């Protein structure tokens, strides 16, 4: 670490840095509050999607106990065709969004399959959509947690390191300058007394 210069130029630099730190800190705090609020919303949405998924799954299982019948082929009837994700910029944090989802249903003969295959297909399509929405909600939470941790570290850096150090440096420089100013005044007074004494001696010698 460079040695602190105890002069007016260094004082001006430290004072300017302290002012900049104090201006920047509130914006960091606001950013952290925004991230925390969005994280709370994301957790609430994820919980609702979890509940909706479990409810849909249980409803489908209870309504269609005949799913246990392995003689009716169901594999490949419903599949995920397209998922288009977007992005949301929240105070510099990029969060995923769901722009579009397309679930594909393979054609099947309604005469060759039992009547309950139709509600099965609908239920599976709903489950796939809920799963994708739930995954994105959880990804948002993870990114928000990471962003909050980064911002918290920056806030702590300003609050506990940069601002206190700048204040300490300013106090040290001001004390040094005040001491130097007092020393200069004392030296000036001593020099003035010596000059007056020499002048008096000169006048006495002329007599």
**Domain 25-166 belongs in CATH node 1.10.287.3240:** yes
Q: Which two tokens stand for residue 164?
A: 């206190």
pLDDT at position 199, please?
61
pLDDT at position 148, please?
94
pLDDT at position 70, please?
62
User: pLDDT tens-digit profile of 47-62?
Assistant: 999 999 999 888 887 7
pLDDT at position 160, please?
93
User: pLDDT tens-digit profile of 16-41?
Assistant: 999 999 999 999 999 999 999 999 99
Residue 106: which pLDDT band, with cuts at 50, 70 and 90? confident
**Mean pLDDT for the stretch of residues 163-190:** 85
User: pLDDT tens-digit profile of 126-175?
Assistant: 898 999 999 999 999 999 999 999 999 999 999 999 999 999 999 999 88
Whether 203 has a pLDDT exceeding 70, the answer reads no
pLDDT at position 62, please?
78
Q: What do you get for the CA distance between the two ends of the chain, in Å?
A: 63
Average predicted confidence (pLDDT) for the chain? 84
Integer Cα distance of 167 and 11 in angstroms: 10
């Amino acid at each position: 670490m460079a040695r602190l210069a105890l002069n007016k130029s260094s004082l001006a630099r430290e004072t300017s840095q302290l002012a900049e730190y104090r201006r920047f800190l509130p914006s960091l705090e606001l950013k952290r509050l925004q991230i925390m609020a969005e994280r709370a919303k994301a957790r609430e949405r994820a919980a609702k999607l979890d509940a909706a998924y479990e409810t849909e799954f249980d409803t489908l299982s209870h309504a269609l106990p005949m799913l246990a019948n392995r003689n009716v082929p169901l594999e490949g009837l419903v599949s995920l065709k397209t998922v288009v994700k977007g992005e949301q910029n929240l105070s510099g944090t990029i969060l995923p969004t769901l722009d579009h989802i397309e679930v594909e249903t393979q054609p099947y003969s309604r005469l060759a399959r039992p009547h309950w295959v139709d509600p099965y297909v609908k239920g599976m399509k709903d489950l796939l959509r809920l799963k994708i929405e739930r995954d994105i909600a959880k990804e948002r939470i993870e990114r928000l947690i990471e962003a909050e941790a980064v911002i918290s570290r920056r806030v702590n850096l300003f609050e506990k390191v940069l601002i206190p150090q700048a204040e300490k440096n300013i106090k040290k420089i001001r004390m040094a300058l005040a001491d130097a100013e007092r020393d200069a005044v004392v030296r000036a007074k001593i020099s003035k007394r010596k000059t007056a004494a020499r002048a008096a001696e000169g006048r006495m010698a002329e007599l």
